[in-house]
Amino acid sequence: MFDSREATVGFVGLGMMGGPMAENIIKAGHSLVVCDVDPRKLDRFVALGARPAQSPADVARQASVVVSMVDTTAQAEQVITGSEGCAASAQTGDVIVSMSTIDPVALRRMQQTLAAHGADLIDAPVSGMEKGAREGTLKAFVGGAPEALERARPVLNAMTSEIIHFGPIGQGTTMKLINNMLVQVAWISIAEALALGAKAGLDPKQMVETIGNATGNSVAFQYSAPRILARDFDGIRMDITYKDIELQTSLAKSLQCPMFLANVAQQVYQMGRAAGLGSEDGGSAIVKIYEQMTGVKVTG
């Protein structure tokens, strides 16, 4: 017997991040209804006790709080306000939680559509990567009405260890874009540095060990450098990294804010995508571009 609609959580998008996040909602004791384009993911969650749904509209028909965790702005708009989206079934008092890194302007448009149904939208993109998603230690950067956040807080608590409210709708995502920009630009400088050292004859493994205990160390370095040494290129797709930087630079253009390093980094990632690396990890596979240009390999 499933709980009432008011006590049920919906989740759309069971990918690398969304899958473990949805699992943590189940572990916290919430009834869950799920939707994904991959039927194998649905089958897995049915085995965990979740209910399958045919569409985002079907999810919203069964749950009063719905989480959207998809890749792109277009996908989020389809999930939230599309013809078979959550808005089609949303009721007064419902909250849709967009946890994707997407366009803040699109979030404001979607909020207006949901408001016509008496429902609220908050944006709550997260920092912490796949490890944080599995362990429930993500940080949520939230934008939206405070009362909507409070209605969604029990669900966010199941997936995160910290919830930070930055203001109106879109501001959480703006903060996430800025955080991502720092990491994604750093990944380029890390690949450049390791390729330079390898070209100069330094041992890449010794370089990584030394930098990891010196002033050049960072969270970005600890993510990408060990992956580069291990030739581990499975992770955050370069296509997603490029998408994030496109959002960052577009936001800067709309605000007439100069952006030098992000624009250069975007072109380096575009080189990687042009070389067929779009489905490989942006933080580590980008080193292949520098290896091609320098004629050396950065490997342990």
Residues with a known catalytic role:
176
Q: Give 42's DSSP letter.
A: H
**Integer Cα distance of 99 and 128 in angstroms:** 13
Pick from 230, 21, 212: nearest CA to 131? 21
Helix/strand/coil for 180:
helix
Please report which helix (H) or strand (E) contains residue 133, including its range.
helix 129-135
DSSP string for residues in 203-271? -HHHHHHHHTTSTT--HHHHHHHHHHHHT---SSBHHHHHHHHHHHHHHHHHTT---SHHHHHHHHHHH
Are the beta carbons of 258 and 160 closer than 8 angstroms? no
Integer CA distances (angstroms), 190 to 227, 268, 283, in order: 12, 13, 9
- Say how far apart CA 205 and CA 141 lie, in whole Å: 35
Q: Determine the Cα–Cα distance for residues 5 and 64; give it in Å rounded to an integer.
A: 6
DSSP readout, 182-203?
Answer: HHHHHHHHHHHHHHHHHHTT--
Interacting residues of 286 by C-beta distance below 8 A, sequence separation 6+: 187, 188, 191, 238, 268, 269, 272, 277
What is residue 11's three-state secondary structure?
Answer: strand
